[in-house]
Every structure is written in structure tokens, then in C-alpha cells.
Structure 1
Amino acid sequence: MFDIATSGELLAEFMAEASGQRFDRPGRFTGPFPSGAPAIFASQAARLGARVAYAGRVGRDGFGDLVVERLRDDGIDVEAVQRDPEYPTGTAFVSYQADGSRRFIFNLAHSASGRQTLDEGELEHLSACRYFHVMGSSLASRGGIEILLRLVARVKARGGRISFDPNVRLELVSSPEVREALLRVLAHCDLFLPSDADLEWLAEPGEDADATVARLRSEHPLSLVVLKQGAAGCRAYTGDGVIEAPGLAVAEVDPTGAGDCFGGALVAALVAGRPLAEALRLANAAGAHAVTVLGPMEGCSDQATLERRLLAAGETP
């Protein structure tokens, strides 16, 4: 049995070298970097010792080799990662703006990633896990929604747990189908990992974050909600109360993947049986370390790296 399984987009990412670089003018990009939000999550969890399995689809090209080799090198089971003989590996181009925001151009729908399938053998292989993790970004297409909902149902039927990072993006939730899918996953979720922006999207008029979490926990089987607050750290809501864990001060180089690393470290720590307070500290350290390194998966870290980060911040690992 796997500790953690996940499924979703796999892509090669290219990052603009200059701040404010535009897509409608020539410019320099660095890459390719292996990427995809669930892949970053999986890599971080595996580097902390979790047994992780992945399902996705890449092309039979150099970018696909890059992605699969990184997953395999991190110890991730790639039996359900398909190679498309006709369509190329998905790509993303990222440009950083002066205000810290990012702009993207994705090619996923018309890539191998957009043609992912799931047969009965792959469904059975992936569903033998303690946690199945869903990224909201992987619910961007009808095919992705169908695959993830099938996996969620099978994992729950086998007694597994669902962790869910909604990763709400305006371009996604403008689709009624995607909004419905996000809420359907939430209805089966055990560990919910929203950001402040995610809670704002889910809030009813007049609700603050605490009130929104309380309502969601009354409506859904959420045994644990961990609110990701970036540099400020995180806030965990349990049946016994609230635990706050402060963030770590670091020099930011690239914010891509920080929330995914946070989630991967948290779930890996929980499946390893670590106390919640310790798991939260490790997750904060993973998110902080991720922003210090250029590249979406390059900031994934091992246990020793996180312990050094915590010691440097004056915290107990």
C-alpha cells in the first residue's frame, strides 16, 4: 500500500529571466523545469520518505523524459504515468511582474496531459493508499474531473483519506463544471488545505476565516483544516481547537510551488505519525525553503534540510 497517491497535470516549465518580461515581445527564458502542482506535492512528500504513487500523462519526447526521470529519481511510483505517442508534453511559460504577481501561458488541454485516461488496473493501483491528494488545478478539464472523482470514490470506499488543496484560480472557477467539481471533492475531504484566497471564495457574506472554517467543518467530514498563510505560517483547525505555527523568514527567489511543498511535507509528516504541531513546523519550513530556490520542483527538500531551516529560525525540528 502507498502512503500517498495523486493524479494530475505534468508539464515542462519555462521561466522568464527578467522581471516584467512580456509574452508579446522576444525575451529570455530559463528551463525546462519539471513541473505540475500535484507533481511538486508528490516530490516533496517522497523526499521526506513517504511511499508515493502518481498518475498522469506526458509525451514521448525529451520534456516527458525530464518529468518522468525526476519523479522516478525522487522515489515516486510512475507505473500509472502514461506516455502519449502523438501529443507532446504539456508546457507552461511564466513571467514575474514587478508587483510580485505572475503571468502564465499554459499548453495543457492540447497536450498529452489533456489526454490522460484511467483504466481499471491503474484505478486499483492508485487507490491502494492511505491518503489520496487532489489539487484544484487538476480539475480544469472534464477528463481530469472524471479521473479524480473516480479515484476519490475508490479510495474512500477502501478506507483511505482525501487531502485537498483547492488552489482556486479565477480562470478555473469561472466554469460552473469546475466549481461543482471543487465542491464535490470538498464533500469527501478529510484534510483540507486552503489559502486565505480559497476561504474567501468559499465564504458566505459577513464571514471571516474562522467562521467559514467552522461552517465548512459542520457541513463536510473535515477532520483537519490547515489554513496556509504564506510567510505568516499556518493555522490548523481541529476538533480540539486551533494551533498556530509561525512562518520562517527567508529571502524569496521564486514563490512557485511553495504551497505544494507545504502540503507535501504536511501529509508526509502525518502519515509518518508525527504530532500535528511538529508536522505544521515541517510544512512551514518546506514552504519557506521552496521560495529560496528557482524552479517549481527545485525547492523540494529532504528532512535534514528542513531541520536546518528550523534550527536557523530558532525552532525545534
Structure 2
Amino acid sequence: MKSVLTIGEILVEIMATEKGDGFLEPINLIGPFPSGAPAIFIDQAAKFGQPAAIIGCVGADDFGRVNLDRLRRDGVDVEGVRIDPEMATGSAFVRYRPDGSRAFVYNIKHSAAGAISLDSAAKAVLNRGDHLHVMGTALSSPNIVEVILAAAEAIKARGGTISFDPNLRPEILNLPGLREACETLFRRCDLFLPSGAELYLFTKAKEEKATVREILDRGVRAIVHKRGADGASYYDSKARLTQAGFEVKEVDPTGAGDCFGATFVSCWLRNMPPAQCLAYAAASGALAVTRQGPMEGAASQAELDAFLASHSKRP
């Protein structure tokens, strides 16, 4: 099977146990949970059975160990994760607002997560990769943008493929060079996985049908438009498919889109039919929200098969 590589932040996530508008007073917290959008993605890919690796950086602390232990346990190649002896592992404090949206306080750029480099170990991992998946959240500094763009060029030069999930948090939208980096990756990607209004980020058209046509005309091979609980749609030059979301009891939606994306990319790399890719991905996203913690709901292929069978929607 083709191997999947991602590059980006590895964090711990610490969550408020009560809903509210922020962190302006002492509140109860739970964690640390292994997290970071690229880390969640690659953990799910490995758990699904895909050869998977990540290039990143953590601190020489308990938070770094929590992440590395989880990633190794689920089968991720962490040879390309550098352990910085001085900087702390990145973190994200999360609180759900009463309306269900989330408020984040990040420490990424000025933590070990912002100190990613293509050292010899990372280059060795890059040289083994067949496919690069890029998350918009990883583009948090010019240094990391440079690393990711270099990796994208290397993967493409040897005939590999790229998937791109903009995953743009409001907290990072105004970072210098972010939009330019996203546009470069959009132009280079084979598979585009936007959520909601992200579908229209890089097009002149602002109506869905015209936007899809414009994106495909620009060389993207396939689009997966994620709509959360409402499901997802798939578009390529020949197919237009829609997958409904599965009804489950939601405990924590964090990481659901990353799990969806990882499972879809894994299926796509195995040349499964698009409808089968969508069904597996939707099941993966649904299972992810049933557990508290970003990686806690990651599922194996056998678990997804059982879920699909129980919902009478086999892929």
C-alpha cells in the first residue's frame, strides 16, 4: 500500500468541562489529550491500516511523551519527529461556547511545534513517502511553510500525490503568508478536502456547481466537500456523489473532520470506488465524535466495517 506522510503540529489538548465564552476565570479542565490536526489525521490513517508517518517536533516533556506514545501505539512512524531539549510541546486549550462553537488558546508557533525542520531523520521519512497530506493549521510560520512546500515539491517530483485540507481556524487566518501558501498548495494538490465555505476560498465562482467545475478545470483530480453532520459530497470529472451523515450521540466533535479526511485519503490511495471511500470516511467521522478527546475516537477498518454493518450502509 502507498504510504501517507503529513507534516505539522503535534499538541496536547486541554478542555474545559463546562461551556462558556472563554478562559477569563478559573474553570475545571480535563486533559492532556494527544492532538494537533496533522497528528489526529495521521493517527487515524495508521489505525485504518495505511502506512503512515509524520514529521514534527515535540518537547522533552510529558506532553511530548503522551503524543509519541499514542502515535507509536497506533502504528505511526515517528522517526521524523524531533524532540527539542529546550522548547515545550505545543498546546491547545479548548472551550465550547453555548452555541456549540469552540474557543481556542493555542501555543504553536512559539513552542516545539513551531520548530519543525527537515533534518536527516525527517528527510529519510520524506524519501519513503508516496503521498503528502497538508492541513492548513500546519502553516503557522514561514519556517514550516518552507518545509511543507519543499516536501510537496519532492513528493511531486517522484510522481507522488498531494491532498490538501484548508482547515483554517479563525485564530490563524491573519498569519503572514498563510493565504499565499494555501494557494500554492491548492494549485499543487490532487485531492482537495474543504469544509463548508472553504470550497470557495480559491475560486472566482461563488456558486457550488460553478465552483466545482472551476476547481476541476484547474487540475485538481477530485474534491471532497465536507459538511459535518450533514455528510459530504464527492466530485471528479466523471462522478458526483453525496454521502449522508450517520446519526450518533455526539460527545466531542474535535478531530472528526481529521478522521474523516484520513480515512478518505487512505481509501482513495487504495483505489476504492468513490462511494466506498465516502462511506468509510463518514463512518470514521461519526465514530470520532462519540468519544471525548481528539484521537480517542480513531477507528480501525474492522471497527468501521462493524459500524457500517450496524447502520445498514455497507461501503
Aligned equivalent of 1:17: 17
CA distance in structure 1 between the aligned counterparts of 2:122 and 2:109, rounded to whole angstroms: 22
- 2: CA distance, partners of 1:151 / 1:194: 21
Deviation at 1:203, TM superposition (A): 4.4
Residue 209 of structure 1 aligns with which residue? 208
Conservation of the 8 A alpha-carbon contact between 1:10 and 1:90: yes
Q: Is the 8 A contact 1:10 1:58 kept in 2?
A: yes
Q: Cα offset for 1:201?
A: 3.2
Contact 1:270/1:276 (CA < 8 Å) preserved in 2? yes
Cα distance, 1:240 vs. partner? 0.5
Alpha carbons of structure 1 residues 127 and 237: separation in structure 2 relative to 1, 3 Å: farther
**1:308 partnered with 2:306:** yes
Note the alpha carbon deviations across 1:205-244, whole angstroms, 9 max, x for none.
Answer: 6x2122112112212x211111111111111111103011
Counterpart in 2 of 1:7?
Answer: 7
2:39 is aligned to 39
Q: Which runs of 4+ in 1 moved over 6 A?
A: none
The aligned amino acid for 1:169 is R
Judge which range, 37-46 or 12-21, deviates more: 12-21
Equivalent in the alignment of 1:85: 85
Please identify, of 296-305 and 167-176, the stretch whose mean Cα deviation from structure 2 is larger.
167-176
Could you tell me how far apart the structure 1 residues matched to 2:202 and 2:271 are? Answer: 30
Paired residue for 1:186? 186
Q: Separation in 1 of the partners of 2:28 and 2:211?
A: 43
Distance in 1 between the 2:199 and 2:154 partners? 27
Separation of aligned partners in 1, 2:120 and 2:67: 24
Equivalents in 2 of 1:70, 1:261: separation in Å?
15
Offset, 1:125: 2.5
Give the match for residue 248 of structure 2: 250
CA contact (8 A) 1:128 1:158 kept: no
The residue number in structure 2 matching 1:95 is 95
Aligned to 1:299: 297
Deviation of residue 126 (structure 1)?
1.4
- Structure 2 Cα separation of the partners of residues 116 and 240 of structure 1: 39
Out of 17-26 and 296-305, give the one that drifted further: 17-26
Alignment size in residue pairs? 315
Match in the other structure for 1:154 = 154
Q: Summarize deviations over 1:127-181 as a string: whole Å, max 9, x none.
A: 4322110000001211110110000000000110001101123333324510000
SS of 2:56 mapped into structure 1: strand
- Counterpart Cα distance in 2 of 1:109 and 1:166: 18
Partner AA of 1:145 in structure 2: V
What fraction of aligned residue pairs are identical, expressed as a percent? 45
Q: Is the 8 A contact 1:46 1:74 kept in 2?
A: yes
- Alignment correspondent of 1:218: 217
Q: Which moved more, 1:284-293 or 1:166-175?
A: 166-175
Q: Secondary structure at the match of 2:248?
A: coil
Q: Is the Cα contact below 8 Å between 2:263 and 2:277 reproduced in 1?
A: yes
Query: Contact (CA 8 Å) 2:231, 2:282: kept in 1 or not?
Result: yes
TM-score by length of 2: 0.96
Query: Paired residue for 1:108?
Result: 108
Contact in 2 for aligned 1:2/1:53 (Cα 8 Å): no
C-alpha RMSD over aligned residues: 1.5
1:48 is aligned to 48
* Normalised TM-score (structure 1): 0.95
SS in 2 for 1:78: coil
Separation of aligned partners in 2, 1:26 and 1:122: 40
Q: How many Å apart are 1:83 and its aligned residue?
A: 0.2
Distance 1:297 1:103 in 2: 19
Asked if structure 1 preserves the Cα contact closer than 8 Å seen for 2:88 and 2:112, the reply is yes
Partner of 2:288: 290
Q: What's the counterpart of residue 261 of structure 2?
A: 263
Deviates more, 1:70-79 or 1:1-10: 1-10
Amino acid at match of 1:312: S
Give the distance between the partners of 1:209 and 1:124, measured in 2 at CA.
41
Structure 1 residue 119: deviation in Å? 2.4
Structure 2 residue ranges without an equivalent (≥5): none
Native 8 Å contact 1:266 1:280 kept in 2 = yes
Contact persistence 2:216–2:236 (CA under 8 A): no
SS at match of 1:202: coil
1:74 match: 74
In structure 2, what is the Cα distance between the partners aligned to 1:122 and 1:87?
Answer: 19
Counterparts of 1:177 and 1:218, CA distance in 2: 25
Partner SS for 1:133: strand
Distance 1:50 1:163 in 2: 15
